[in-house]
Amino acid sequence: MNIAIMGFGVVGSGVAELMEKNHASITEKSMQPSMNIKYILDLRDFPDSPFHDKIIHDFSVILHDESVAIVVETMGGLHPAFEFVSDLLRAGKSVVTSNKELVAAKGYELLTLAQEKNVNFLFEASVGGGIPIIRPITQCLAANEIDEIAGILNGTTNFILTKMIAENMEMGEALAMAQHLGYAEKDPTADIDGIDSCRKICILASLCFGKHIYPSEVRTEGIRDVQLRDVSYAANGGYVMKLLGVARRVKNGRLCIFVAPCLVQGHSQLASVDDVFNAILVRGDAIGDVVFYGRGAGKLPTASAVVADVIDCAKHMAKRKLLDWGAPEEGFVMDCAEVPYRFYVRGVCANDETAEQVKAALSSQMLHITNAPSGEIAFLTEEISEKELRSSLASFSGFTIGSLMRVTAY
């Protein structure tokens, strides 16, 4: 069976390496006489690569070669990946991608196209790198109604937060290390500002809740404004700060979905997820909480998930994997500022009287603070919606909000 790879960057080259390294077992598991990489599409030449003789620059060669049955898309970005993948599915080829931007923006369209053509469109690597999560949700947890899914979905920001927590390192220095190690996106803004996590929680939410969720529907906040003292005040209260993507079914059947730095319970499994590792907690009505943990970024971990999908495609050439979700629905996603949560609040009080009033009205747990600017306090609230909390805080003219973050129940 012939395979093509589009995009010979970190992940694409990892796919080629892994297919060569484990060629015999991959071929056997694919139940094919052979598994051969025929083309690698890229704009660049790679004269020093062992795969240099497979490099091509013309997409139409892959599209029109009937011997190519499965195409791996590791180019990243929306265009021309969307056009290429659409053309390939229309031509009856199965496609495997690691491209979360593509799946988050166009998943419903591409899954529908794959369904029409009776081919597979698989994207295990698009969320959590090498962690099995798409397949477990669609298969192993299929008997459950999912109530909530919450994940540390971005290795770069988790690496940065870990360095800030454990080594008091500044954000810029930690980001440079993450880039050097090949974890960060080409434009690290997508990591730092939560855009990458947003795409991933959209994919997970679409899968768990059955309707396409667009990134524009998700309230997204990254770690840019996180300060070292928030991290340390959280620790003083027994919490660990993590950038989470959360999708939660709320009472009226609608969805609360957001990406934001949150305080997780110090004893929870999510709290101990450090460095570039990712973890995804799924709360099902039958299973309770289940946590998936592993390497969420990097060349071979991500290639591991891509190649697993290639094997699955090869084994299911004549039938489709049951992996679909429905059309987007207006009003399905609600304003998460209306959903009650416990909150972490840091702010500055103009005087002692204001401090006493704010504490009496809103604090359920004061946090120990050190080396703080004059008048600063930090506390946790009882459950309250963000709207109510902001309006209550605004009623104290002597209080200025410094930071406000959700506290999770896990």
Mind telling me the catalytic residues?
200
42 near ligand HSE, rule: CB under 6 A: no
**Distance between CA atoms of 306 and 321, rounded to whole angstroms?**
15
Closest contact distance (angstroms) between CB of 87 and ligand HSE is 25
Q: How far apart are CA 111 and CA 107, in angstroms?
A: 6
Q: Which tokens hold the place of 399? A: 């209080």
Q: Write the binding mask 150 to 189 for ligand HSE: x where contact by CB under 6 A, - elsewhere.
A: ----xxx--------------------------xxx----
Helix residue ranges, H only, 181-267: 189-192, 195-209, 228-236
Q: Among residues 220, 71, 238, 245, which one has the least CA distance to residue 151?
A: 245
Tell me the closest approach of the beta carbon of residue 238 to ligand HSE, in angstroms.
27
Query: Strand pairing partners for 2?
Result: 36, 68
* Amino acid identity for residue 384 in this structure: I
Residue 258 contacts residue 339 (beta carbons within 8 Å): no
Report the nearest approach of ligand HSE to the CB of residue 242 (Å): 13
Q: How many CB atoms lie within 10 A of CB 292?
A: 17
Output 156 or 268, the one with its CB closest to ligand HSE.
156
Is position 296 an interface residue for ligand HSE (rule: CB under 6 A)? Answer: yes
Q: Which is nearer to ligand HSE, 84 or 159 (CB)?
A: 159
Nearer to ligand HSE, 130 or 347 (CB): 130
Which one among 297, 310, 336, 355 touches ligand HSE, defined by CB under 6 A?
Answer: 297
Q: How far is the CB of 5 from ligand HSE (least distance, A)?
A: 18
Question: Residue 325 half-sphere exposure, CB side, CA atoms within 13 Å?
Answer: 25
What one-character DSSP code corresponds to residue 139?
Answer: I
Query: Which position among 7, 12, 76, 129 is part of the footprint of ligand HSE (CB under 6 A)?
Result: 129
Nearer to ligand HSE (CB atom), residue 30 or residue 154: 154
In the bound state with ligand HSE, the residue whose beta carbon lies nearer, of 156 and 381, is 156
Amino acid in the structure at residue 32: Q
Q: Is 196 in the site for ligand HSE (CB under 6 A)?
A: yes
Q: Is 27 near ligand HSE (CB under 6 A)?
A: no
Phi and psi for 381 in degrees, rounded to 5? Answer: -100, 170
Cβ atoms of residues 400 and 382 within 8 Å: no
Q: Copy the structure tokens of residue 403.
A: 């930071």
Residue 277 within binding range of ligand HSE, rule CB under 6 A: no
Which residues are near ligand HSE by CB under 6 A?
129, 154-156, 183-185, 191, 196, 296-297
